[in-house]
Every structure is written in structure tokens, then in C-alpha cells.
């Protein structure tokens, strides 16, 4: 049993099937989908409320999605811990600043990588709330409910991603 | 304790959120998708790990959720979409996905595995969400409701029984996964 937990990687089909089963339990016990961008939005709201108090609390978006520590916020903390445990148990935990594919294309400059990551993150935060979900909320939880908006969103995530990755790194397929 | 009591217990929900996250993060890391190179490899169409994980999750998840719905113990939570919200937001997300090389869930996971660039990206995601909240009243008036989709679900759009679509999507996903294996992708 422990050998399983210390394996560097599982078959992607097994990992995926596990995520599918996890989502059954979330619908059963919490009566909502599993999505990651809501937790980031709550963090943004709580920081803004910390800075400007009532003015932030009364923003129309935060009246709709009330920033607080709830299931979705705890989910993100859990994901950090779960991935840490997995990589720690398999001995693959390493501090990385510039990932290999990025370094091969643009050099090992940490400042450049962090600037690109920050810009990418901003677009993701903006786009996820704009589209009403991210790769987990729309891409997995929504598509498996056969939600029309989620299928369209998932196709657009990958269409935009494939286009921009191709422009950055050169189109490599086939 | 009944399902209703579990769902309405705020403290228990915090614990369940944390536990769900730990399992999710563990599976994302074991599936290989907390790795920048794997995600960029997917967007460059040279590594299909992300598609394999997602489609396996959707296949198993869909069958279970519709079975549980048939048993009357879960309900669906689909929301409508529009060209202005879903398509434009989705494309903005996609551009960011290629620049960061992680999505919100895998970025959180990557932070756990020691990726410092994912932490910077996570800060970016929070900033992006704050910018959206700031722009929301304007976007809601001008963009988000343009071109509303005609239905909330695919069975609703096609006006057929959900069970038929579940079977067809299950066959389609199995076919794609089989095709990826056959072509060695």
C-alpha cells in the first residue's frame, strides 16, 4: 500500500478516475461542484476588504460571491498540502524557479519567468471569473454534468492555450 | 447524520473542503499535471497527459453523478453561459494558461511540489480575480450577457433524454482515449 503512495507517478487514467470519484463525494456531501477559481476570488475579496473595508464589501461582485473562508477556500489549501504530501512521499519535492521547457526556449532568467508567470496568472484570474469557472469547475465538474457552457468554456480554454503556446514556443504538432 | 445535516454544517464543510483538496492535490500530482512541462506539452500537443486525466475524470464522474441523480441523492448545478462571458472569458483564460503553464488548481498543487513560479502565478490569479471584481459592473452591463446560450445543458439543447447523451459522451471519450493509446500519444 505504502509503495503506491511513494510511486513517482500513477497512470493518468487512474489519477483521472480518482478525481471523478472524488467529485461524486463532493456532490453527495457538499451539494456543489468542485472548482478552484472561487477560492482565489475569495482571497482577492478578503484582501480588498482588509485594505478598503466596507467599500470592497459593497462591490456588486462581492455581494454575489461573498469573500470568506469556506469550502472553496479550504479546497485550495488542501490542494497545496495534498500535492506536497504526494511529491514528498515520492521524493520528487524540489524547489524550481524556471521550468525546463521555459528555460530551453527563453533562457534561465528568473525575473523573466516570474514576470511571464505573473502576467499569465492575472489573465487566468480575470478569464476564470469572466467565464464563470476554470479547468476544474468548468473543465471537469461542469463538463461531466453535460453543462453546455462548460463544454464551450473548456474548448475555449484549450483553443486559446494552444494558440498562445504555439506563438510562444513554435507550433510543434504533428 | 443525514446528508442534509452534513451539507448544512458550516464547520464540517470547512473540513470536507480541506480533505477534498488534499485528495485532489494528491491525485493531480500523482497524475503528473502539477508539472509545468506536462501542461505546456499538452498545449503544444506533444504530451497528452492532461487530456487523459481530464477525460478519465469526466467519464467516471459523469456516469456516477447521473447514476446518483437517478437515485435522487444528488442534484445538478449547471449555469447558463453566453458568447460574451463563456467564449471571451475562456479565451482570456487560455492565453493566461499558456503564459503561466498552470491553471488555478494545478498552480496550487505545483506550489506544494516546490514550484516558486506557480506561487508568483497564484498571486497573479488573485490580482486577476480582483480586477474582474472591479470591472464586473461594467462588463455585466456591456459584455457578459451578449449572445446567451439557448440551453443550460447539452441534453436540453438537443431536446433528448440525458441518458442518451451520457452514453454517447461515454463512447466518445472512450474512443478518444483509445485513439490516443493507439497512436502512442
Tell me: pLDDT of A158 over 90.
yes
ipTM: 0.97
Considering only alpha carbons, which residue of chain B is nearest residue A19? B57
Percent of chain B surpassing pLDDT 90: 98
Q: What is the mean pLDDT of chain B?
A: 97
Query: Which whole number is the average pLDDT over A51-66?
Result: 92
Determine, for residues A164 and B99 on separate chains, whether the beta-carbon distance falls below 8 Å. Answer: yes
Q: Which residue of A has its CA nearest to B50?
A: A12
Q: What is the mean pLDDT of residues B144-160?
A: 97
| Contact check, Cβ <8 Å, B17/A27 | no
How near does any CA of chain B get to the CA of A117, in Å? 4
8 Å CB contact of B65 and A147 = no
pLDDT band of A53, cuts 50, 70, 90:
confident
Mean pLDDT to the nearest integer, A70-79: 98
Count other C-beta atoms under 10 Å from residue A96's C-beta.
17
Q: Which of chain A's residues have a Cβ under 8 Å away from the Cβ of B70?
A: none
* Minimal-distance CA residue of chain B relative to A93: B113
* Alpha carbon of A91: minimum distance to chain B alpha carbons (Å): 10
**What is the per-residue pLDDT for A172?**
83
Q: What is the mean pLDDT of residues B33-43?
A: 98
Instruction: Report pLDDT for A174.
Output: 64
Query: What value does the mean pLDDT take over residues A131-153?
Result: 98
**pTM assigned to the model:** 0.97
- Domain range summary for chain B, segments of one domain joined by +: 1-30, 34-78+152-185, 81-147
C-alpha distance from A30 to closest chain B C-alpha (Å): 5
Amino acid at each position: 500500500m505504502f509503495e503506491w503512495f511513494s510511486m513517482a507517478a500513477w497512470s493518468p487514467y487512474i489519477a483521472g478516475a480518482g478525481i471523478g470519484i472524488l467529485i461524486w463525494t463532493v456532490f453527495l456531501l457538499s451539494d456543489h461542484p468542485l472548482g478552484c477559481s472561487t477560492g482565489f476570488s475569495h482571497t482577492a475579496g478578503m484582501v480588498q476588504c482588509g485594505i478598503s473595508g466596507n467599500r470592497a464589501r459593497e462591490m456588486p461582485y462581492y455581494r454575489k460571491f461573498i469573500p470568506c473562508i469556506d469550502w472553496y477556500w479550504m479546497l485550495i489549501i488542501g490542494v497545496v498540502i495534498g500535492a506536497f504530501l504526494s511529491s514528498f512521499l515520492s521524493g520528487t519535492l524540489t524547489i524550481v524557479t524556471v521550468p525546463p521547457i521555459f528555460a530551453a526556449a527563453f533562457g534561465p532568467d528568473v525575473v523573466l519567468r516570474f514576470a511571464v508567470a505573473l502576467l499569465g496568472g492575472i489573465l487566468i484570474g480575470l478569464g476564470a471569473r469572466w467565464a464563470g469557472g476554470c479547468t476544474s469547475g468548468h473543465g471537469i465538474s461542469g463538463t461531466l454534468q453535460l453543462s453546455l457552457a462548460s463544454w464551450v468554456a473548456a474548448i475555449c480554454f484549450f483553443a486559446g492555450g494552444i494558440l498562445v503556446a504555439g506563438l510562444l514556443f513554435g507550433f510543434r504538432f504533428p | 447524520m443525514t446528508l442534509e445535516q452534513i451539507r448544512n454544517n458550516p464547520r464540517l464543510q470547512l473540513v470536507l473542503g480541506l480533505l477534498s483538496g488534499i485528495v485532489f492535490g494528491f491525485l493531480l500530482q500523482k497524475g503528473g499535471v502539477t508539472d509545468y512541462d506536462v501542461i505546456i506539452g499538452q498545449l503544444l500537443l506533444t504530451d497528452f497527459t492532461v487530456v487523459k486525466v481530464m477525460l478519465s475524470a469526466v467519464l467516471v464522474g459523469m456516469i456516477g453523478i447521473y447514476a446518483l441523480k437517478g437515485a435522487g441523492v444528488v442534484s445538478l448545478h449547471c449555469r447558463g453561459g453566453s458568447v460574451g462571458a463563456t467564449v471571451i472569458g475562456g479565451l482570456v483564460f487560455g492565453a493566461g494558461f499558456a503564459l503561466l503553464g498552470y491553471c488555478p488548481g494545478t498552480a496550487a498543487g505545483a506550489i506544494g511540489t516546490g514550484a516558486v513560479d506557480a506561487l508568483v502565478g497564484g498571486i497573479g490569479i488573485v490580482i486577476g480575480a480582483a480586477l474582474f471584481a472591479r470591472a464586473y459592473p461594467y462588463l455585466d452591463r456591456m459584455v457578459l450577457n451578449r449572445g446567451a446560450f439557448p440551453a443550460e445543458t447539452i441534453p436540453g439543447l438537443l431536446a433528448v433524454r440525458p441518458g442518451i447523451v451520457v452514453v454517447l459522451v461515454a463512447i466518445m471519450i472512450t474512443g478518444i482515449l483509445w485513439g490516443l493509446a493507439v497512436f502512442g500519444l
